[in-house]
Amino acid sequence: MFNTLDDLDPEQRVLVRLDLNSPVEDGQVQDNRRFDRHAETVRELADEGHRVVLMAHQGRPGGDDFVSLEQHADILSGHIDREVQFVADTYGDEAIEAIESLDSGEVLLLENVRMCDDELPEEDPEVKADTEFVQTLAPHFDAYINDAYSAAHRSHASLVGFALELPAFAGRVMESEYQANSSIATREFDGQVTMVVGGTKATDVIDVMNNLGDKVDQFLLGGIAGELFLRAAGNEVGYDLEGMDFFDDQWEANRETIESLLDERGDQIKLAVDLAYEDQTEERGEIAVANITGKDRPYLDVGSMTVDQYDPIIRDSEAVFVKGALGLFEDERFSVGTVGVLEAIAQTDCFSVVGGGDTSRAIEMYGMSEDDFGHVSIAGGAYIRALTGAPLAGVEVLKQD
Ligand SMILES: Nc1ncnc2c1ncn2[C@@H]1O[C@H](COP(=O)(O)OP(=O)(O)OP(=O)(O)O)[C@@H](O)[C@H]1O
Ligand SMILES: O=C(O)[C@H](O)COP(=O)(O)O
């Protein structure tokens, strides 16, 4: 399929693309699971005595989180227990000097690749390979390693250009993410396959249903997306109240598609039977969907009866995939749905993949162990594409014929 670190010659000068894109609060880069995961690849390369040069991005130009990678070097250093040098340059003289001064087993992080003009426009790999950025850096290396699975849906220079100029390899994160996340599209399961879909984006849920309808036996819905399906089924939910902008635009754009999905795949689609809200005393209240008569409050989670209905379906499944949260789990009062399904998955020995940048955070937040899941993805946009079988530009260029 593609070459991995097992195929790398000894003592190489390696250029490694990671995805260290992180939340930034008041200018402070927040440590997160991406550092921990990529640490495995970086540690292995350094332990093997390669000269390790890392590339990554942070934020998008113009955004508050578009910052230097200096803090990332410190955070990563803590995860691999060795120094990560940093140079505030990507392919200028300063960067080249730092690269050329590296010794065996040393690690250097270059500046945010999105600060280079050549990085961002989405173009074909051949065009990216021909940029000054790639043409200047590539001759200083023996091999290119892409570990940035979660950014691999972007056809940017650091993700697709170097693979055409240097022998290319998949890092450990790339390998494991690719195998797990593509499995629903590529693998046959003996028993029932269940997909838990929620979150805020109706189009993600629609894409998954359109592409995987024949592979998945049951879709268990929740979240904002689930409310839109409930509304299409004739319930008085899924409306924006003052100050909200979750529903109206999505309803207008997706109403017909949702209605036809309910018509065509109604047997496979399980909707919430009750929902949770914040009551007058700021506690969690619950109401059966059948008893909702007015558009008077936002719903923030699926209810406990819904969790009771979803739980046995999960326990009877051979494989369970999760995309998107069933409620606003960041607030403990509205974590019941998301945590309920995750606990059911953790307690069974089904094959499972939990993804979505936000959703997988619930595992750590509520004290569950990643070891109880088959795979917990660190990808967002790349995960939904992989689920639906869409190719990822950064993976395609790694593939061997
Ligand atoms: N009823 C709800 N009201 C408000 N927010 C909700 C509700 N249900 C789910 N959410 C929010 O949805 C978010 C997850 O949605 P999203 O569609 O972004 O899914 P994801 O797949 O985890 O993330 P991403 O696609 O960004 O990687 C959670 O942070 C959760 O708070
Ligand atoms: O955080 C992510 O999902 C990836 O790093 C991709 O970032 P992007 O959406 O800014 O390209």
Backbone φ/ψ region at 62: left (φ over 0), alpha (ψ -120 to 50), beta: left
Three-point CA angle 201, 203, 205, nearest 5°: 80
Whole-number Å distance between alpha carbons of 184 and 389: 8
Residue ranges lining ligand 2, Cβ < 6 Å: 19, 21, 60, 150-151, 154, 357, 380-381
319, 342, 337: which is closest to 327 by C-alpha? 337
- How far apart CA 383 and CA 275 sit, in angstroms, is 27
Per-residue model confidence (pLDDT) at position 400: 79
> Which residues, listed in sequence order, are joined to residue 274 by a DSSP beta bridge?
288
Residue 183 has a pLDDT of 86
Q: Does domain 182-388 fall into CATH 3.40.50.150? A: no
Q: Is 154 annotated as a binding residue?
A: yes
Structural domain spans, the chain: 5-174, 182-388
Closest atom of ligand 2 relative to the 19 alpha carbon:
5
Rounded CA separation 147/151 (Å): 9
In the chain (401 residues long), the average pLDDT of successive 10-residue segments reads: 96 98 95 95 98 98 97 98 97 98 98 98 98 98 98 98 98 95 86 96 94 93 98 96 94 98 97 97 98 94 98 97 96 98 96 87 93 93 88 94 68
249 is in an annotated binding site: no
- Which residue, judged by its Cα, is nearest atom 3 of ligand 1? 300
Atom of ligand 1 nearest to the CA of 300: 1
d(CA 19, ligand 2 centre) in Å: 8
Q: Measuring from each residue's beta carbon to the nearest atom of ligand 1, which residues come in under 6 Å?
A: 198-201, 223-224, 299-300, 323-325, 327-330, 356-359, 380
DSSP string, 43-80: HHHHHTT-EEEEE---S-TTSTT---SHHHHHHHHHHH
ipTM: 0.94
Residue 232 near residue 262 (C-beta atoms within 8 A):
yes
Beta strands in 76-146 (DSSP E): 84-86, 107-109, 143-146
Cα–Cα distance for residue pair 269/357, rounded to 1 Å:
24
| Ligand 1 mutation target, pool 328, 333, 364, most atoms within 8 A of CB | 328
pLDDT at position 257 is 98
Give CA–CA dist 70/73, Å, rounded. 5
Helices (H) and strands (E) in the chain — how many of each?
Answer: 15, 17
Q: Is 204 annotated as a binding residue?
A: no
Q: What letter does residue 328 receive in the DSSP assignment?
A: -
Class of CATH domain 5-174? alpha beta
Pocket probe mutation, ligand 2, options 19, 29, 72, 323, max atoms within 8 Å of Cβ: 19
| 337 appears as a binding residue in the annotation | no
Ligand nearest to the CA of 365: 1
Residue 8 burial (CB count, 10 A): 19
Same fold yes or no, 5-174 and 182-388 = yes
Handedness of CA 55, 37, 48, 68 (dihedral sign): positive
223-232 vs 202-212: helix crossing angle, rounded to 10? 70
